[in-house]
A and B are shown apart, each in its own frame.
Chain A
Amino acid sequence: MKCDWVRQNILFYVYNELEDDARYEVEQHLGRCPECATELKAARKFHATLSELPVAEPTPNLLAASRMRLQEGLETTQPGGFWQRLILEPAMWLRQIRMAPALAAVIFIVGFGGGIGATYNFLANRPPTSDISNYDHSNPTPSVEASAIAGIRSVTQEPGSNQVSIKYDTVSTQEAQGSLNDQRIQQLLLFAARNNYNSGVRMDSVDLLTQAPDDSRVREALMYALQNDTNPGVRLKALDGLSGFVRQDPRVRDGVLRALISDTNSGVRMQALRLVEPMKTDSNVRSVLTRLSQTDQNASIRSQVRTMLAQMPEMD
């Protein structure tokens, strides 16, 4: 009976959780049914009563105190992926270690260098810059420009003296040059496509990867970029790279279909549509297109899909 359904949904109506069509039906029914209208009144009263417990805004003092306490907490915490950090600028490093000028004059550094993390192993072709035991004392200021500091392991002060010893790890910025066929170059590109926070770098990597010879890892990287990259330009680039594989590789086809359904950018969806068009007779593709002709947010895409569907002979 209609009333049962309405009663079940009155709460969600009050909380504005109903879909437009359900909301419409409820409102229509409430106009005609006095009992359900009473229910609505009761539900609204309940809502109002519970709202008598106000949500207090945190006082500025509380907020400030919480922020300060967090800052202290952060100082003693390492962020996630600490050892994946690429570069720590020497300036930032120096700021963190507040040293008296007197101490800064004489710094005894016992350090060792090395690549960080397994992902960079193939970069560090040179042996780690380890032994600094024969450090030149007359030149205490180390040249930190040449290599960047990945992290400070420890800072200790010799008791009763102004000697400080600091253990730190370094990573060096290197440059790799080679052709697209070069293994090393490919590895770096694959890494860059996923991991760089600068979308320009990701874009260029994906672009170059699309020119790389057919390789399942490249395909995976392109699919990953298509699905996950936050930048629509990068996703478009990835689509370009995958266009050759849509027919032969079902995984690529599924990935492109997924992008067609769920990508938030209409330009990307449009391109994905173009890529699947030659395969519109495929039943998977057809069912996606049928749904898309109604549900896609972009009117131009919807009309294009409808045209596509109209051109196909009806298949059973």
Chain B
Amino acid sequence: MPADSYAVAIPVGDNYRPRRAASNSDGGNQNPTLSRHMRGSLAAQSNRIDDTSLIRAAQQGNRAAFEVLVRHYDQSVLRLALHLTGSESDAQDVYQEAFLKAYKNLGSFRFECSFYTWIYRIVTNLCLDHLRKRNVRKEDAPVAVDASGEEYSRLEQFADARSGANPERDLMRRELGRKIGAALTMLTPRERMVFELKHYHGLKLRTVGEMLNTTEETAKNTLFRATQKLRAALAEMR
């Protein structure tokens, strides 16, 4: 039955043709490789329809499809991990763990939510783990090690790159950055996570709730608590 007899636009895998006569021995190309159709239409189709074909292909073992899928999301995942952890190597670790975990668990993804939410759920949980581990060592100042092995205060890396023009303003900005960083450590991991996702990445609280496996209402309350704590902490530092 031709699929185009319906009034709605239906994307149908075009390598498949319904066979009426059983003469053709070829069982229909199941297309494990990334067909030109997929590649060519990556620009034309919307992201969601894209992802569906890519996900299904990846679930069947097509690693190339998984890699393309990753590229749709990995920059923003890395950005989140970098801002949250404050360290390039920690961010890379979170990135690696998240996408490997996604790859291993791809079989259990049943399209009950968007892939974006699903992958972010994995990432936020890993970030929460990271924050909890860091809390255990709370007595240490937030220090990290950069690529060359030098220790540096994680908060200094947020110094404005456009330095030099106005040293006084740069100093103030660095100070402020340090204060904000310190205030953020006052939050519990969940509060930190909610605040991070809402304030620094602009996600809707409903989405944040989904990612943290809770309700929008809870996310709202958590945000409220987080901002109260932050305001108090910043006021104290003045």
Measured between beta carbons, the chain B residues less than 8 angstroms from A122 are none
Does residue B136 face the partner (Cβ distance < 8 Å to A)?
Answer: no
Known contacts: A70-B99, A79-B106, A231-B10. The answer to whether A58 contacts B61 by CB under 8 A is: no
Measured between beta carbons, the chain B residues less than 8 angstroms from A173 are 27
- Scan B188-212; emit 1 where CB is below 8 A from any A CB, else 0: 0000000000111100110000000
Q: Are A55 and B16 in contact (CB under 8 A)?
A: no
Cβ 8 A contact of A11, one of B31, B66, B67, B223: B223
Measured between beta carbons, the chain B residues less than 8 angstroms from A11 are 223-224, 227
A52–B1 alpha-carbon span in the complex (Å): 59
- Scan B88-103; emit 1 where CB is below 8 A from any A CB, else 0: 1001100110011001
A274–B66 alpha-carbon span in the complex (Å): 40
Does residue A198 face the partner (Cβ distance < 8 Å to B)?
Answer: yes
Cβ 8 A contact of A233, one of B10, B105, B157: B10
A85–B65 alpha-carbon span in the complex (Å): 14
Q: Are B16 and A200 in contact (CB under 8 A)?
A: yes
Q: Of residues 1 to 49 in A, which have CB atoms within 8 Å of B's CB atoms?
A: 11-12, 15, 17, 46-47, 49
Q: How far is the CB of A193 from chain B (nearest CB, A)?
A: 14
A184–B181 alpha-carbon span in the complex (Å): 63
Count contacts on B: residues with CB < 8 A to the other chain: 78
Known contacts: A70-B99, A79-B58. The answer to whether A52 contacts B173 by CB under 8 A is: yes
Q: How large, as a class, is the contact surface on chain A?
A: 35 or more
Number of A-B residue pairs having CB atoms within 8 Å of each other in the complex: 188
Cβ 8 A contact of B78, one of A49, A63, A85, A197: A63
Q: Are A80 and B108 in contact (CB under 8 A)?
A: yes
Does residue A53 face the partner (Cβ distance < 8 Å to B)?
Answer: yes
Measured between beta carbons, the chain B residues less than 8 angstroms from A133 are none
Q: How far is the CB of B202 from chain A (nearest CB, A)?
A: 9
Q: Are A200 and B3 in contact (CB under 8 A)?
A: yes
Residues of B near any A CB (own CB < 8 A): 1, 3, 6-8, 10-13, 15-18, 22, 25, 27-28, 30-33, 52-53, 56-61, 63, 66-67, 70-71, 74-75, 78-79, 82-83, 88, 91-92, 95-96, 99-100, 103-108, 110-112, 157-158, 160, 173, 176-177, 180-181, 184, 198-201, 204-205, 220, 223-224, 227, 230-231, 234
5 contacts between A and B (CB under 8 A): A62-B82, A62-B92, A79-B61, A79-B106, A81-B59
With A46-B227, A204-B1, A265-B8 given, name 15 new contacts (CB 8 A).
Answer: A12-B205, A50-B180, A53-B158, A53-B177, A53-B180, A53-B184, A77-B104, A79-B63, A79-B66, A80-B106, A87-B30, A199-B12, A231-B10, A233-B3, A233-B10
